[in-house]
Amino acid sequence: MFKTRLLSGIVLVIAAIFLIVTGNEVLLFSTLLISCIGMFELFRVFKFEKSLLSVVPYIALILFYINLRWSFIPDVMMLFMGFLIVLMFVYVLSYPKYDAKQLMAAFFGMFYVGTMLSYVYQIRTLNKPVDVPIPVPQCTAHTLLLFVHYGYCLKLRWLKLPQYMHQSALPSKWTLFFPNLKKYYHMNF
């Protein structure tokens, strides 16, 4: 069991590094696929994975990811409000079929599972370069920094911030949300 988890973890880390370094549409559509799989698993727990209530978050998530790349919706809040309105419309018209817990799982599944993973793509495609002495694609260091900080938040102390990272890799706004950032990453802001 441990060997299987270790090997799958190694394969997933290699795949994540490959996708992050590749970036662009490859990273966008791979995170979309992972988000859809995660939403399917969440909807399976609430027993509505193959119903009309599960189709609405999938469509909203696909529109959200396509909008990340091609920006056809001027304000993302319009998409989120439209998603909520359509979700409530489906709930009201098919009332006895769905429970309020299922509706909340559909709503939070789109935001928690779907849009949270999109930040990997959004950080990777930032236009602000990072000063690192080794040649890496633009803003790959930002994305790797996100994983490093996430790993620390999970108390994985073996995952450290690389010493070659420059101070500009972390904006000073991050210290408002992560007050211990200075202490753990030994940086002056």
For 161-186, the pLDDT digits (tens) are 444 344 444 445 555 555 555 554 55
Packed helices 2-22 and 140-153: angle between N→C axes, nearest 10 degrees? 150
SS3 (DSSP) at 125: coil
Find out whether 66 and 33 touch, Cβ atoms under 8 Å: no
| DSSP track, 54-107 | HHHHHHHHHHHHHHHHH--SS-HHHHHHHHHHHHHHHHHHTGGGS-HHHHHHHH
Cβ contacts of residue 76 below 8 Å, gap of 6+? 64, 67
**Domain residue ranges in the chain:** 17-124, 140-185
Q: Which amino acid is at 38?
A: G
Find out whether 32 and 82 touch, Cβ atoms under 8 Å: no
At 72-118, the pLDDT tens digits run 888 889 999 999 999 999 999 988 889 889 999 999 999 888 888 88
Percent of the chain predicted with pLDDT > 90: 30
At 21-74, the pLDDT tens digits run 888 889 899 999 999 999 999 999 998 988 999 999 999 999 999 998 888 888
Q: Which helix (H) or strand (E) holds 135?
A: none
Find out whether 98 and 107 touch, Cβ atoms under 8 Å: no
Of 100, 66, 58, residue with least CA distance to 83: 58
- Mean pLDDT for all residues in the chain: 76
Whole-prediction pTM value?
Answer: 0.65
Find out whether 151 and 27 touch, Cβ atoms under 8 Å: no
The better pLDDT of the pair 39, 1 is held by 39
- CA-to-CA separations, 153 to 67, 131, 146, 149, 160, in angstroms, rounded: 30, 25, 11, 6, 11
Find out whether 82 and 30 touch, Cβ atoms under 8 Å: no
